[in-house]
A and B are shown apart, each in its own frame.
Chain A
Amino acid sequence: MAFYRPAPYQKPLAGILLLALLALPTVLTAFGQEFYIGFATRVLIFALAASSLNLVLGFGGMFSLGHAAFFGAGAYAAAICLNSGISEALFALPLSMLAAGLFALMVGAVSLRTRGVYFIMITLAFAQMAYYLFVSARSWGGDDGLPLPARMTLGGLPLAGDAALFYTALGCLGLVIVLLGRLAEARFGRVIQAIRENETRMEALGYPVFRYRLLCFALGGALAGLAGALLANLSGLASPNLLQWTQSGTLLVMLIIGGVGYLYGGVVGAVVLLGLEEVLAGFTLHWHIGLGLLLLGVVLFAPKGVAALFGKRHD
């Protein structure tokens, strides 16, 4: 894989997209399609989650099959915050990120001592352990999940309206994309991408590889936690299903469809996958077949992902 470099027209394209998204709730309301504001928020949140996996897998080269554990941990952290009276997003969201990030730090500290298929299996094992822990935690609702008493407030204003939550999710996603874009070209990003390419060489240049990997993994976990916290607000529930390994799989599929290692890979993948699911589910119950065909198509015709078709990277 090549080192990240932004495509020349990436910024104007992102600007246009941002403007369109800013207008989206108003437009949808004008056409009486408010239902889709919630759907769009869901897409943004999954775009954020897939982008956090992109940091770990795309830039860091760590094939984690347990990323949903941090997604779910963020959701539970948010639900626990709200149930214990912390409803301000400016506190609750960073707390959720912190919880998910610390969890990722612990998982990473053990998992990152392994390589290849062992790493995949051990991250999967940790995620499933967390899943069963939450399923059996009665005080947190067991397998029914932990409901939220209400949505968070942002700077004192309630996020009860769908548009308010949409804009919050959009703001978070925007910030994360900017952060990832800067990070990829800064020292840290250079180092983790070089480690992805050739770990031994980096060690031989004097880099403490493990530390860089671990921080990248924990940072990815914290960002997944942010997405989880937002999703809990949207659905009014922190469900153990969020930690299921199938959820990790969904994030991986999104990222692979969108483009691993491309800044907008997670965003494109979330839009394509959830959009298609929405459209196909309107026609048939067997919409999974359509998704399967799409995945085949991507692997055969755009093996680097949909984002690769737009932005030519420096190879």
Chain B
Amino acid sequence: MTEPLLDVRQLSRRFAAVDALKTLNFSVEAGEVHALIGPNGAGKTTFIHHVSGALQPDSGSIHFAGRDVTRRSMHQRVAAGMARSYQITNVFRGLSALDNVALAVQGRADSGSSFRFWRPVRCETALFDEARGYLAQVGLADQVETVAGNLSHGEQRALELAMALATRPKLLLLDEPMAGTGPEESARMVELIEQLARHVTILLVEHDMAAVFRLADRISVLVNGQLICTGTPEAVRQNADVRRAYLGDHL
């Protein structure tokens, strides 16, 4: 087997007296959709924060695409090909959808330095053409000029996804992409993630079990900062520990 795209080894983190993450071993293979599930407060978002570089672990290491990124800052990890979306929608509400995505395109090293002081951004048509492509990909082709703050919640989630895509990631960290969306929007988001999964590896944190079992190739279950099980959806569904700790309430 080839080396996993994301390899987390012995990761631990304490907050005061609380063991938020306890010697986690976790990996994401290139090409898969790996879902991370668990009850509220299990440490899922904390884990994503550590993977993305927003938080530093007390011990353990994180390898991404064959390199040790444990001490790399968030922007360096993004440049290496790791993009994330946020649990709480995090877009620039005062900018149009197109400007939001163009800003993400502009941040990529191969689209040139942003230490440019004279030429107006709006003249850089290449940025905006590319941005339009990502908006079309997430189904926002009709909302290009809409100010992000005026988009519906589901559309803002999609915009967030387009921004993540614009960084041309190898790995997408999706923190509850379905949070707060209605059933119709949820269904559209599932379809969208299904399409994206053909081109990019995804680590998905999600509470919507129907979506998780439909999308995931593998599922890991996090309870009280510990991974209690990793396996195929079928194996996880059958696992007695998982049923006791979590899924019992859902299935």
Q: Indicate, yes or no, whether A interacts with B.
A: yes
Is B2 part of the binding interface, using a Cβ–Cβ cutoff of 8 Å? no
Q: Is the CB of A191 within 8 A of B108?
A: no
Tell which of A2, A191, A315 has the most Cβ of chain B within 10 Å. Answer: A191
Instruction: Give bound CA distance, A198 to B163, whole Å.
Output: 14
B window 78-130: CB within 8 A of A: 78-79, 83-84, 86, 90-92, 94-95, 99, 103-104, 106-109, 113-122, 124
Knowing A205-B104, A206-B78 touch, does A191 contact B92 (C-beta < 8 A)?
no
Q: Is the CB of A188 within 8 A of B104?
A: no
> Which of the residues B79, B103, B108, B116 comes within 8 Å of A194, measured between beta carbons?
B103
The closest CB in chain B to the CB of A178 belongs to: B118
Instruction: Give bound CA distance, A315 to B118, whole Å.
Output: 23
Q: Is the CB of B116 within 8 A of A205?
A: no
A11 to nearest B CB, angstroms?
14
Knowing A186-B120, A187-B121 touch, does A201 contact B90 (C-beta < 8 A)?
yes
Is B220 part of the binding interface, using a Cβ–Cβ cutoff of 8 Å? no
> Which of the residues B95, B99, B167 comes within 8 Å of A206, measured between beta carbons?
B167
Instruction: Give bound CA distance, A206 to B105, whole Å.
Output: 10
Chain A residue total in the interface (Cβ 8 A): 30
A232 to nearest B CB, angstroms?
27
Residues of A within 8 A of B115 (CB): 187-188, 215
Tell which of B113, B116, B122 has the most Cβ of chain A within 10 Å. Answer: B116
Instruction: Give bound CA distance, A301 to B240, whole Å.
Output: 65
The closest CB in chain A to the CB of B90 belongs to: A201
Q: Is the CB of B114 within 8 A of A182?
A: no
> Which of the residues A187, A201, A207 comes within 8 Å of B116, measured between beta carbons?
A187
Is B200 part of the binding interface, using a Cβ–Cβ cutoff of 8 Å? no
Q: Report the tally of A-B residue pairs with Cβ distances under 8 A.
A: 92
Residues of B within 8 A of A204 (CB): 52, 54, 74-75, 78, 83-84, 86, 90
Instruction: Give bound CA distance, A183 to B122, whole Å.
Output: 13
Q: Is the CB of B75 within 8 A of A207?
A: yes
Q: Is the CB of B119 within 8 A of A186?
A: yes
The closest CB in chain A to the CB of B127 belongs to: A187
Residues of A within 8 A of B117 (CB): 179, 182-183, 186-189
Q: What's the interface size class on B, roughly?
A: 35 or more
Q: Is the CB of A186 within 8 A of B54?
A: no
Say whether chain B's binding surface is mostly helix, strand, loop, or mixed.
loop
A window 132-172: CB within 8 A of B: none
B172 to nearest A CB, angstroms?
12
Tell which of A2, A3, A206, A207 has the most Cβ of chain B within 10 Å. Answer: A206
Instruction: Give bound CA distance, A314 to B106, whole Å.
Output: 22
Q: Is the CB of A197 within 8 A of B78?
A: no
Q: Is the CB of B107 within 8 A of A205?
A: yes
Q: Is the CB of A190 within 8 A of B121?
A: yes
Q: Is the CB of A205 within 8 A of B94?
A: no
A window 109-127: CB within 8 A of B: none
Is A209 part of the binding interface, using a Cβ–Cβ cutoff of 8 Å? yes
Q: Is the CB of A201 within 8 A of B92?
A: yes
Instruction: Give bound CA distance, A203 to B79, whole Å.
Output: 10
The closest CB in chain B to the CB of A190 belongs to: B121
> Which of the residues A2, A186, A202, A208 comes within 8 Å of B118, measured between beta carbons?
A186
Q: Is the CB of B90 within 8 A of A185?
A: no
Q: Is the CB of A205 within 8 A of B95?
A: no
The closest CB in chain B to the CB of A211 belongs to: B115
Is A246 part of the binding interface, using a Cβ–Cβ cutoff of 8 Å? no
CB 8 Å contact bits of B147-175 with A (1 = contact, 0 = none):
00000000000000001000100000000
Instruction: Give bound CA distance, A209 to B114, whole Å.
Output: 12
Knowing A198-B92, A207-B114 touch, does A187 contact B78 (C-beta < 8 A)?
no
Q: Is the CB of B78 within 8 A of A205?
A: yes
The closest CB in chain B to the CB of A182 belongs to: B118
Instruction: Give bound CA distance, A138 to B114, whole Å.
Output: 44
Q: Is the CB of B120 within 8 A of A205?
A: no
Q: Is the CB of B121 within 8 A of A205?
A: no
The closest CB in chain B to the CB of A313 belongs to: B94
A184 to nearest B CB, angstroms?
9
> Which of the residues B90, B92, B108, B116 comes within 8 Å of A188, measured between beta carbons?
B116
Residues of B within 8 A of A191 (CB): 103, 106, 114
Is A29 part of the binding interface, using a Cβ–Cβ cutoff of 8 Å? no
Knowing A204-B74, A204-B78 touch, does A197 contact B92 (C-beta < 8 A)?
yes
> Which of the residues A185, A198, A205, A314 comes within 8 Å of B167, measured between beta carbons?
A205
Instruction: Give bound CA distance, A208 to B95, whole Å.
Output: 21
Is A200 part of the binding interface, using a Cβ–Cβ cutoff of 8 Å? yes
CB 8 Å contact bits of B208-251 with A (1 = contact, 0 = none):
00000000000000000000000000000000000000000000
B window 41-65: CB within 8 A of A: 52, 54
16 of the cross-chain contacts (CB-CB < 8 Å) are A1-B94, A183-B118, A186-B118, A187-B117, A187-B121, A188-B115, A194-B92, A201-B86, A201-B90, A201-B91, A204-B54, A204-B74, A206-B107, A206-B108, A207-B107, A209-B75
Closest 3 CB pairs of A and B: A206-B78, A205-B107, A187-B116
